[in-house]
Structure 1
Protein backbone atom coordinates (compact mmCIF):
# COMPACT_ATOMS: atom_id res chain seq x y z
CA UNK A 1 0.00 0.00 0.00
CA UNK A 2 1.31 3.40 -0.97
CA UNK A 3 1.02 5.97 1.80
CA UNK A 4 1.03 9.69 1.13
CA UNK A 5 1.60 12.22 3.88
CA UNK A 6 1.76 15.97 4.08
CA UNK A 7 3.55 17.31 7.13
CA UNK A 8 3.73 21.04 7.87
CA UNK A 9 6.41 22.02 10.41
CA UNK A 10 8.39 25.26 10.46
CA UNK A 11 12.00 24.64 9.37
CA UNK A 12 13.26 27.11 11.98
CA UNK A 13 11.93 28.51 15.25
CA UNK A 14 13.13 30.49 18.25
CA UNK A 15 13.67 28.62 21.51
CA UNK A 16 10.45 28.84 23.56
CA UNK A 17 8.31 29.73 20.52
CA UNK A 18 4.95 27.96 20.20
CA UNK A 19 4.84 26.28 16.79
CA UNK A 20 1.92 24.80 14.88
CA UNK A 21 2.27 21.36 13.35
CA UNK A 22 -0.20 19.78 10.96
CA UNK A 23 -0.25 16.40 9.24
CA UNK A 24 -2.46 14.68 6.70
CA UNK A 25 -2.15 11.02 5.73
CA UNK A 26 -3.74 9.40 2.71
CA UNK A 27 -5.13 6.07 3.89
CA UNK A 28 -7.82 3.75 2.43
CA UNK A 29 -10.24 4.24 5.32
CA UNK A 30 -13.16 1.83 5.73
CA UNK A 31 -15.69 2.17 8.57
CA UNK A 32 -16.56 -1.53 8.80
CA UNK A 33 -20.26 -0.78 8.27
CA UNK A 34 -20.42 -0.58 4.48
CA UNK A 35 -21.38 -3.67 2.43
CA UNK A 36 -19.06 -4.86 -0.32
CA UNK A 37 -20.06 -6.16 -3.75
CA UNK A 38 -20.90 -9.56 -2.22
CA UNK A 39 -23.23 -8.01 0.38
CA UNK A 40 -20.87 -8.77 3.27
CA UNK A 41 -19.57 -5.92 5.39
CA UNK A 42 -16.13 -4.72 4.38
CA UNK A 43 -13.51 -5.11 7.13
CA UNK A 44 -12.85 -2.02 9.19
CA UNK A 45 -9.62 -0.27 8.21
CA UNK A 46 -9.05 2.96 10.10
CA UNK A 47 -6.16 4.77 11.71
CA UNK A 48 -6.52 4.20 15.45
CA UNK A 49 -3.55 6.08 16.90
CA UNK A 50 -1.38 9.06 16.02
CA UNK A 51 1.67 10.23 17.95
CA UNK A 52 4.43 12.81 17.65
CA UNK A 53 7.78 12.53 19.40
CA UNK A 54 10.10 15.54 19.57
CA UNK A 55 13.68 14.34 20.10
CA UNK A 56 12.22 11.04 21.37
CA UNK A 57 9.90 12.75 23.91
CA UNK A 58 6.17 12.27 23.33
CA UNK A 59 4.61 15.71 22.80
CA UNK A 60 1.23 14.75 21.30
CA UNK A 61 -0.89 11.65 20.84
CA UNK A 62 -4.47 10.92 19.86
CA UNK A 63 -6.72 7.86 19.92
CA UNK A 64 -8.99 7.93 16.86
CA UNK A 65 -12.32 6.14 16.30
CA UNK A 66 -14.55 4.95 13.47
CA UNK A 67 -15.92 8.50 13.08
CA UNK A 68 -12.53 9.75 11.83
CA UNK A 69 -12.49 11.21 8.33
CA UNK A 70 -10.71 9.61 5.42
CA UNK A 71 -7.23 11.12 5.03
CA UNK A 72 -7.34 12.57 8.56
CA UNK A 73 -5.85 15.97 9.32
CA UNK A 74 -4.25 16.27 12.75
CA UNK A 75 -3.06 19.71 13.90
CA UNK A 76 -1.58 20.71 17.24
CA UNK A 77 0.91 23.08 18.89
CA UNK A 78 4.10 22.47 20.82
CA UNK A 79 6.98 24.56 22.14
CA UNK A 80 10.25 24.66 20.19
CA UNK A 81 12.84 23.60 22.76
CA UNK A 82 15.88 22.44 20.77
CA UNK A 83 17.02 21.58 17.28
CA UNK A 84 16.26 18.00 16.40
CA UNK A 85 13.69 15.69 14.91
CA UNK A 86 9.94 15.38 15.06
CA UNK A 87 8.81 11.78 14.44
CA UNK A 88 5.20 11.15 13.47
CA UNK A 89 3.61 7.69 13.72
CA UNK A 90 0.22 6.50 12.51
CA UNK A 91 -1.09 3.07 13.59
CA UNK A 92 -4.25 1.33 12.50
CA UNK A 93 -6.22 -1.77 11.73
CA UNK A 94 -4.81 -4.70 9.79
CA UNK A 95 -1.32 -4.10 11.20
CA UNK A 96 -0.94 -0.67 9.61
CA UNK A 97 1.99 1.39 10.90
CA UNK A 98 3.73 4.31 9.19
CA UNK A 99 6.34 6.75 10.53
CA UNK A 100 7.99 9.83 9.09
CA UNK A 101 10.46 12.32 10.53
CA UNK A 102 11.06 16.03 9.96
CA UNK A 103 13.99 18.13 11.18
CA UNK A 104 13.60 21.47 12.95
CA UNK A 105 16.32 24.03 13.69
CA UNK A 106 15.90 26.03 16.89
CA UNK A 107 17.99 29.12 17.62
Structure 2
Protein backbone atom coordinates (compact mmCIF):
# COMPACT_ATOMS: atom_id res chain seq x y z
CA UNK A 1 0.00 0.00 0.00
CA UNK A 2 1.47 3.32 -1.06
CA UNK A 3 0.76 6.17 1.33
CA UNK A 4 2.01 9.51 2.63
CA UNK A 5 2.48 10.53 6.26
CA UNK A 6 2.66 14.30 6.82
CA UNK A 7 3.61 16.45 9.79
CA UNK A 8 3.49 20.24 9.41
CA UNK A 9 4.39 22.64 12.22
CA UNK A 10 4.27 26.44 12.33
CA UNK A 11 7.07 28.23 14.17
CA UNK A 12 7.45 32.02 14.08
CA UNK A 13 7.00 33.03 10.41
CA UNK A 14 7.65 29.67 8.69
CA UNK A 15 6.09 26.23 8.40
CA UNK A 16 8.19 23.06 8.41
CA UNK A 17 6.67 20.20 6.43
CA UNK A 18 7.92 16.64 6.84
CA UNK A 19 6.56 13.83 4.68
CA UNK A 20 7.32 10.12 4.51
CA UNK A 21 6.13 8.45 1.31
CA UNK A 22 5.68 4.70 1.04
CA UNK A 23 6.90 3.61 -2.42
CA UNK A 24 9.27 0.87 -3.72
CA UNK A 25 11.27 3.31 -5.92
CA UNK A 26 12.76 0.66 -8.27
CA UNK A 27 15.46 2.02 -10.60
CA UNK A 28 15.02 -0.58 -13.31
CA UNK A 29 18.56 -1.83 -12.67
CA UNK A 30 17.89 -4.10 -9.68
CA UNK A 31 17.50 -7.84 -10.20
CA UNK A 32 15.04 -10.21 -8.61
CA UNK A 33 17.21 -12.44 -6.37
CA UNK A 34 15.16 -15.56 -7.15
CA UNK A 35 14.75 -15.24 -10.94
CA UNK A 36 17.72 -13.04 -11.87
CA UNK A 37 15.43 -10.90 -14.03
CA UNK A 38 15.53 -7.11 -13.82
CA UNK A 39 12.77 -5.47 -11.81
CA UNK A 40 11.00 -2.88 -14.03
CA UNK A 41 11.52 0.78 -13.18
CA UNK A 42 8.86 2.10 -10.80
CA UNK A 43 9.57 5.45 -9.15
CA UNK A 44 7.94 8.73 -8.14
CA UNK A 45 8.38 11.38 -10.84
CA UNK A 46 6.61 14.42 -9.42
CA UNK A 47 5.77 15.57 -5.90
CA UNK A 48 3.55 18.60 -5.24
CA UNK A 49 2.69 20.38 -2.02
CA UNK A 50 -0.21 22.78 -1.68
CA UNK A 51 -0.97 25.19 1.16
CA UNK A 52 -4.65 26.18 1.21
CA UNK A 53 -4.87 25.29 -2.51
CA UNK A 54 -1.75 27.22 -3.59
CA UNK A 55 1.28 25.27 -4.82
CA UNK A 56 4.32 25.88 -2.57
CA UNK A 57 6.60 23.07 -3.84
CA UNK A 58 7.06 20.98 -6.96
CA UNK A 59 9.83 18.37 -6.96
CA UNK A 60 10.75 16.40 -10.08
CA UNK A 61 12.39 13.12 -9.10
CA UNK A 62 14.11 10.31 -10.97
CA UNK A 63 15.08 6.70 -10.23
CA UNK A 64 18.00 7.68 -7.95
CA UNK A 65 15.71 8.51 -4.98
CA UNK A 66 15.69 5.88 -2.23
CA UNK A 67 12.85 3.51 -1.29
CA UNK A 68 10.18 5.11 0.93
CA UNK A 69 11.48 8.67 0.37
CA UNK A 70 11.47 11.32 3.10
CA UNK A 71 10.94 14.97 2.15
CA UNK A 72 11.38 17.96 4.44
CA UNK A 73 11.10 21.65 3.52
CA UNK A 74 10.05 25.04 4.90
CA UNK A 75 7.90 27.80 3.49
CA UNK A 76 6.61 31.15 4.73
CA UNK A 77 3.02 32.28 5.06
CA UNK A 78 1.31 29.34 6.75
CA UNK A 79 -0.63 29.40 10.02
CA UNK A 80 -1.78 26.82 12.53
CA UNK A 81 -4.96 25.15 11.31
CA UNK A 82 -4.21 25.70 7.60
CA UNK A 83 -4.35 22.71 5.25
CA UNK A 84 -1.29 21.11 3.62
CA UNK A 85 -1.78 18.64 0.78
CA UNK A 86 1.03 16.50 -0.64
CA UNK A 87 0.54 14.44 -3.78
CA UNK A 88 2.79 12.43 -6.08
CA UNK A 89 2.61 10.69 -9.47
CA UNK A 90 4.95 7.87 -10.50
CA UNK A 91 6.24 6.67 -13.87
CA UNK A 92 3.42 4.09 -14.10
CA UNK A 93 0.73 6.74 -13.65
CA UNK A 94 -0.06 5.67 -10.08
CA UNK A 95 -0.62 8.45 -7.57
CA UNK A 96 -1.28 9.19 -3.92
CA UNK A 97 -2.24 12.28 -1.95
CA UNK A 98 -2.77 13.15 1.70
CA UNK A 99 -3.85 16.22 3.64
CA UNK A 100 -2.86 17.41 7.11
CA UNK A 101 -3.45 20.45 9.30
CA UNK A 102 -0.55 22.70 10.32
CA UNK A 103 0.06 22.39 14.06
Structure 1 unaligned segments of length 5 or more: list them.
Answer: none
Q: Residues 21-53 of structure 1, C-alpha deviation per residue, up to 9 Å, x if partnerless?
A: 111111122110122344332110111111101
Does 2:61 match 1:39?
Answer: no
2:89 aligned partner: 91
How many residues are aligned here?
101
SS of residue in 1 equivalent to 2:72? strand
User: Where do 4+ consecutive residues of structure 1 move more than 6 Å?
Assistant: none
TM-score by length of 2: 0.84
Q: What residue number does 1:58 align with?
A: 55
Q: SS where residue 89 of structure 1 aligns?
A: strand
Distance 1:39 1:70 in 2: 20
* TM-score (normalised: structure 1): 0.81
Superposition RMSD in Å: 2.0
Point out the more displaced range, 73-82 or 41-50: 73-82
Q: Distance in 2 between matches of 1:71 and 1:41?
A: 20
